[in-house]
Chains A and B, each alone.
Chain A
């Protein structure tokens, strides 16, 4: 579970000097220490997890088999690290993502949030996980709350998977508290369709509620659903302004 954030020392700054007494000083001192400790944790955490993204040798412990894959050179001079022996060489970047899955779960149910609409690679690029999951015998639930993509996705799912292996749901991940944004990379989203992960899963048949494979695309717009920002957190710790306000634009109360 996420740890609770410390109370914001900013609440002390609003007090008049004449208000301060020994107890208040002590409490403010404690709160300031807590805030500094939290910032220290966050900044050391950024270095730690950034080193994982960079593939530094000491980060091998965070890999599944305890081994850091070799960096692979790409044609444009950049590198990537893949523990992906099944990767097809002839596919475009982005299309082979699910194909790196070495072992698909038995009795598999796959959930794909944020289907989207890729500019390159055709519809197969956006629907990469459902395509591969069905090939491996999975039942798939696909979600996207983007208004302008709704009919396209509904038609696609019905046309390509007429036997119902893939169900498209016009819905998106929310955190059940407040709305992060009414847009994603593809345009306006229908915020009335947002629900928590558990709520969305609960609407499906009981036998399909264990997400053996889960894809969360568009993590930017889904981040608030994964790690909800506590409303108590002060802006100095990085709460985006659109999150610090309620759905109607009013500041969230403490």
Chain B
């Protein structure tokens, strides 16, 4: 989506975006590149802001986090985070043109 101008335009009209982010090694976690660029895209490019975050325990086998996240300080004990992002305040003209 982030490299498709049409998708970016659609997302810019989205009022509420609900995401279920899996961060456990047993649940196909994002790569370092994906994790950073996902958040950069949502918060900085689209200008979205958090409505809420909820941690999800998951099954016991899914409660560790990917190495690069653990090193950055994210604790084990949760498999996932549910995020709600609310519509951005940034004008998207420059990214959709």
Contacts and interface: CB of A to CB of B under 8 A. Distances in A.
A137 interface: no
A53 B53 contact: yes
Given A62-B49, A64-B49, A83-B51, A228 B15 contact: no
Interface in B52-74: 52-57, 68-69, 72-74
Given A47-B72, A64-B51, A94-B56, A197 B20 contact: no
B41 A62 contact: no
A98 B34 contact: no
A238 B50 contact: no
Contacts of B52: 69, 81-84, 100
A46 B2 contact: no
B67 to A, nearest CB: 11
Contacts of A219: 19-22, 30
Nearest to B16: A213
Contacts of A69: 52
Contacts of A214: 11, 14, 16-18
18 contacts: A1-B2, A1-B45, A45-B39, A46-B35, A53-B81, A64-B49, A93-B54, A97-B18, A97-B84, A114-B20, A197-B7, A211-B11, A212-B13, A218-B22, A220-B27, A225-B1, A237-B33, A238-B68
Interface of A: 1-2, 41-43, 45-55, 62-64, 69, 76, 78-84, 93-94, 97-98, 100-105, 114, 129, 176, 181, 185, 196-198, 201, 209-221, 223-229, 233, 237-240
Q: Which 7 A-B pairs have the closest CB atoms?
A: A45-B36, A220-B28, A238-B31, A198-B6, A215-B18, A49-B39, A64-B49
